[in-house]
Structure 1
Amino acid sequence: MMQMKALSPVETEAGSGGDGGGLRHELKLVSQEMAYPRVYRLLMNDSIGLRTLHPERRVQSVYLDTPECRAFQDNLSGISHREKVRFRWYGSEVDRVAGRLECKIRENKYGWKQVKKLTIEREIRGVDRVSFVRKLGEDAGLDWQIRLQGLQPAQWIAYDRQYLGSADGKLRITLDRGLRVWDQRMRFALDNRFPTPVPRMLIMEVKCAAIHYEAAQRLVNRLPMMVGKCSKYVLASEPAEGPEVQLLYT
């Protein structure tokens, strides 16, 4: 049986380049959260030979946007080039965390990420919004300081993520559940109390390098879910603009 190279957390998240720089496709499928056992069973029985790439873990992100919510508006408008900036960390902690800055870039149908790992632990909950962004820039360096100018905390998003990969290494699949979101736009300090009500959903993403798009398409064609748009940031900012949840028999 083919042995798959164990991917690091950064490689698992990043796409074909391992550091976030590789062009990739992302196909997104959404159903109700209770359909997870059926979807997982279908995936694990598929002929591409999926196996676990990394233990399931909690993913948390604070998304940054302009006061006018430009990133949110760009996504709604569907413009060809758009960017989202976030600070991401792993685990349930909110008081002393080490994470990384990410700029997720989309150009037409392709996407990639620029990533800056930050080794200094920082407080999240209770930190005032201005200090939070300023300290991120100080720790990340000049290029990121410039990128962060004019941005402020907009949404705090958390979910549980499961990581799967095909035996040939061409496809990576993530399954997200337990989604929680907290609107930060009107808060003086970051806070994860009083979540925004959102549907309980299962979000599946099939990720691949551009040259493996046909393999990804063949996989999703075998699943009882339709590919569609799904931005957690858009859902958090305006739940009415979130994805249509496809109902599956469980």
Structure 2
Amino acid sequence: MSSNTVFFAKNILDLYSWISASPSFLAQSYPDRFVNSIYFETLNKSSENEILVDSVDKTKVRLRWYGSSTPISHLEVKKKNGYVCDKKSFFQVQSPNLDIKSRILTARSCYVHEHSVLEFLLNPVLWIGYERTYFASNHPNFEGFRVTVDRMISYAEIRDEKIYGSKILESDDVILEVKFPVSLYEKASPLLRSINCELTKNSKFTSGVMGLNNIYY
């Protein structure tokens, strides 16, 4: 179990100043990379309903890959209760082609016996792509404390296993996600309070669904 707290960055310079000055000794842990995610939905739209009723408990199923030249995708199930998150990664999925439809059909065939997952895989609804920078703590007292910065975010509706080109939403938002084991909560709380960014309860999935459907609240 880990805590996952999401912020909208008002000023990217302030954001990187906070990262460089953090007492958790954050350092970039991976090269920047472009993240692709396809989110799936049950046929009765349980995930969208969770948004509309502002549910604390949320379940997401997504297929994720990095860049544009790898056939390898990762199927993940993410369950969240408030700020506490539990993510389960299934085996990697290797599709014969790089297009979205091939990735979806391959994932569906691989997990035909995982009924809890298959219910979602029948209905891909949203693609999200963004550039991500990764940071991790080098301090022994903050082991497992991680930060990601996402920018150049795009959202697109998926229909018939393909991106529906007339509904692509590009965002100027910069999103900071702070992730750490629940056991670090007492140490991490002062760091979270020192971030000069807007705390948000909305995930990128929520922002994409709301933006593409012109939902505001």
Cα separation, partners in 2 of 1:122 and 1:214, compared to 1, 3 Å = farther
Check whether the contact 1:27–1:207 (CA below 8 A) recurs between aligned residues.
Answer: yes
1:212 aligns with 2:188: no
Write the distance in 2 (CA, Å) between the matches of 1:117 and 1:38: 38
Choose which of 201, 204, 207 in structure 2 pairs with 1:229: 201
Letter in 1 for 2:203: S
Write the distance in 2 (CA, Å) between the matches of 1:140 and 1:87: 12
CA RMSD of aligned residues (A): 2.4
Check whether the contact 1:180–1:195 (CA below 8 A) recurs between aligned residues.
Answer: no
- Deviation, 1:73, is 1.6
1:56 aligns with 2:28: no
Choose which of 3, 16, 22 in structure 2 pairs with 1:46: 22
Letter in 2 for 1:176: D
Check whether the contact 2:72–2:93 (CA below 8 A) recurs between aligned residues.
Answer: yes
- Deviation per residue, 1:64-107 (Å, 9 max, x gap): 002442112213323243210010001134xx621110010113
Write the distance in 1 (CA, Å) between the matches of 2:136 and 2:153: 22
Write the distance in 2 (CA, Å) between the matches of 1:118 and 1:99: 6
Sequence identity (%): 22
Aligned ranges for residues 49-198 of structure 1 at < 5 Å?
49-93=25-69, 97-123=71-97, 125=99, 127=101, 133-140=104-111, 142-143=113-114, 145-149=115-119, 151-168=122-139, 169-184=143-158, 187-191=159-163, 193-198=165-170
The TM-score normalised by the length of structure 2 is 0.85
Consecutive unaligned residues of structure 2, counting only runs of 5 or more, are none
Query: What is the DSSP-based 3-state SS (H/G/I as helix, E as strand, rest coil) of the residue aligned with 2:169?
Result: coil
Check whether the contact 1:234–1:241 (CA below 8 A) recurs between aligned residues.
Answer: no
Check whether the contact 2:73–2:103 (CA below 8 A) recurs between aligned residues.
Answer: no
- Deviation, 1:178, is 0.7
Cα separation, partners in 2 of 1:75 and 1:216, compared to 1, 3 Å = farther
- Give the strand-richer structure, 1 or 2: 2
Check whether the contact 1:230–1:242 (CA below 8 A) recurs between aligned residues.
Answer: no
Letter in 2 for 1:149: E
List structure 1 runs of 4+ shifted beyond 6 angstroms.
none
Letter in 2 for 1:46: S
Letter in 1 for 2:163: D
Write the distance in 2 (CA, Å) between the matches of 1:242 and 1:162: 28
Consecutive unaligned residues of structure 1, counting only runs of 5 or more, are 1-22, 244-250
- Deviation, 1:26, is 0.8
The TM-score normalised by the length of structure 1 is 0.75
